[in-house]
């Protein structure tokens, strides 16, 4: 049994589980706030995926002041994650503000009641 290889896949398994939980919430929940929570879970899964990709066993984290040598892992994925966190903040804020407006106009945040567009 190669335990090490199994341990290395745990982050990726977590990503898949989190992403599926998020997707399930978005697809099957009726409450708009819950849908947005699902999106947030998916965002975190994607961020975790990017960070896990950057991990190299035995290499140094790309922090100049604490690394023992100048040979460090590529910080590209970390930069991507930071950007993606910021984007996630912006989109979540916008979505929640839409929900506030929906509550004002429709008096409900259940997706069954929010379907006036088609008429």
Task: Give residues in contact with another protein (CB under 8 A).
Answer: 19, 23, 26, 32, 35, 39, 42-43, 46, 49-50, 53, 74, 76-77, 80, 83-84, 87, 90-91, 94-95, 98-99, 101-102, 104-106, 114-118
Least distance CB 53 / another protein (angstroms): 5
Q: How many CB atoms lie within 10 A of CB 41?
A: 19
Question: Cβ 67 to another protein, closest distance in Å?
Answer: 18
63 secondary structure, DSSP code: -
Output 1 or 83, the one with its CB closest to another protein: 83
**3-state secondary structure (DSSP) of residue 117:** coil
Q: Least distance in Å: CB of 1 to another protein?
A: 25
Which residue, 1 or 90, has its beta carbon nearer to another protein? 90
Choose between 1 and 112: whose C-beta lies nearer to another protein.
Answer: 112
Smallest distance, another protein to C-beta of residue 35, A:
7
CA-CA-CA-CA torsion sign (6, 8, 11, 15): negative
| CA–CA gap between residue 35 and residue 22 (Å, rounded) | 8
Cα→Cα distances 73→11, 52, 67, 85, Å: 18, 12, 10, 21
């Amino acid at each position: 049994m190669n335990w090490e290889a199994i341990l290395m896949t745990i982050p990726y398994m977590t990503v898949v589980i989190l992403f599926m939980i998020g997707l399930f919430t978005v697809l099957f929940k009726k409450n708009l706030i819950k849908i947005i929570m699902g999106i947030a879970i998916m965002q975190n899964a994607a961020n975790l995926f990017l960070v896990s990709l950057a991990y190299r066993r035995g290499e140094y984290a790309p922090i100049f002041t604490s690394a023992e040598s100048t040979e460090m892992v590529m910080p590209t994925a970390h930069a991507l994650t930071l950007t993606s966190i910021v984007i996630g903040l912006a989109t979540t804020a916008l979505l929640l503000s839409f929900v506030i407006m929906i509550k004002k106009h429709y008096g409900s945040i259940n997706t069954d009641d929010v379907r006036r567009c088609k008429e």
